[in-house]
Amino acid sequence: MSRFNVSILIVLLCWSHLELAIRAQDVETTTLELETTTLDETTTLEPEIKIVEADLEDVDKNEEIEEIQMDPISGKRMYNQFQLFRAQPQTEEQLGIVRFIANGVQDLWSPVPANVTKGVSIDMLVGPKHAPYVAKFLKCSGVPYDIAIHDIQRAIEEENEVTDTVTRSANEEYRKTRSKRANLFTDLVRNLFGFETETSGTRYLRNRPRSVRQSRYFKSNQPQPALPTPGPVYYKPAQANESQSEPRPQSPIHSPSSSSSYPKSSSSSSSSSSSSSGQHLKVMEISQPKGSNKPAIWIDGGIHAREWISPASVTYMLSELVENSAYHQDLLSKYSFYIMPVMNPDGYEYTHTNDRLWRKARSPTHHSSCIGTDLNRNWGYKYGGKGASPNPCDETYRGPSAFSARETRAASYFILQRAHNMKMFLTFHSYGQYILYPWGYTANDEPSNWRDLHRIGQIGAQAMFKKNGHSYSVGSAAKLLYPAAGGSDDWAKGGAGIEYSYTIELPDAGRYGFLLPAIQIRNVTQEAFAGLEAMVNAL
Answer whether 109's CB lies under 8 Å from 499's CB: no
**CA–CA distance, 472 with 509 (Å, rounded to integer):** 9
Confirm whether 395 is domain-assigned: yes
Catalytic site residue from 93, 349, 395, 505: 505
Contacts of 422 (CB under 8 A, 6+ apart): 295, 296, 297, 298, 338, 415, 496, 498
Instruction: Please indicate, yes or no, whether residues 178 and 74 belong to a single structural domain of this protein.
Output: no
Helix (H) or strand (E) holding 318: helix 309-323
pLDDT at 266: 28
150, 176, 207 - which closes a domain: 150
**Is 505 an annotated catalytic residue?**
yes
Confirm whether 390 is domain-assigned: yes
pLDDT at 66: 63
CATH number of the domain that residue 493 is part of: 3.40.630.10
Q: Tell me which DSSP letter residue 62 carries.
A: T
Instruction: Please indicate, yes or no, whether residues 337 and 414 belong to a single structural domain of this protein.
Output: yes
Instruction: Please indicate, yes or no, whether residues 318 and 412 belong to a single structural domain of this protein.
Output: yes
pTM for the whole thing?
Answer: 0.76
CATH number of the domain that residue 17 is part of: 3.30.70.340
Confirm whether 155 is domain-assigned: no
Confirm whether 68 is domain-assigned: yes
Confirm whether 488 is domain-assigned: yes
pLDDT at 229: 36
pLDDT at 257: 34
Confirm whether 100 is domain-assigned: yes
Cα dist from 150 to 128, 156, 368, whole Å? 10, 12, 33
Contacts of 367 (CB under 8 A, 6+ apart): 56, 60, 62, 392, 393
Instruction: Please indicate, yes or no, whether residues 170 and 144 belong to a single structural domain of this protein.
Output: no
Contacts of 274 (CB under 8 A, 6+ apart): 280, 281, 406, 410
Instruction: Please indicate, yes or no, whether residues 185 and 114 belong to a single structural domain of this protein.
Output: no
- Reported residue count of the chain is 539
Answer whether 435's CB lies under 8 Å from 409's CB: no
Q: Which DSSP string do the residues of 217-266 spell out, in sequence order?
A: P--TT-PPPSS----S-EEEEEE----SS---TTS-----S--EETTS--
Confirm whether 189 is domain-assigned: yes
Mean per-residue pLDDT pooled into runs of 10, the chain (539 residues): 45 52 38 39 38 36 62 91 94 89 82 77 92 91 94 91 53 49 47 46 42 33 38 55 41 35 33 74 88 90 97 96 93 95 96 96 86 97 94 94 96 95 98 96 96 98 97 94 95 98 95 93 97 98
Instruction: Please indicate, yes or no, whether residues 204 and 130 belong to a single structural domain of this protein.
Output: no
119, 150, 181 - which closes a domain: 150
Instruction: Please indicate, yes or no, whether residues 432 and 473 belong to a single structural domain of this protein.
Output: yes
**CA–CA distance, 484 with 150 (Å, rounded to integer):** 29
Instruction: Please indicate, yes or no, whether residues 144 and 217 belong to a single structural domain of this protein.
Output: no
Instruction: Please indicate, yes or no, whether residues 140 and 170 belong to a single structural domain of this protein.
Output: no
Q: Which domain holds residue 78?
A: 3-150
**CA–CA distance, 317 with 315 (Å, rounded to integer):** 5
Confirm whether 156 is domain-assigned: no
The amino acid at residue 19 is E
pLDDT at 47: 37
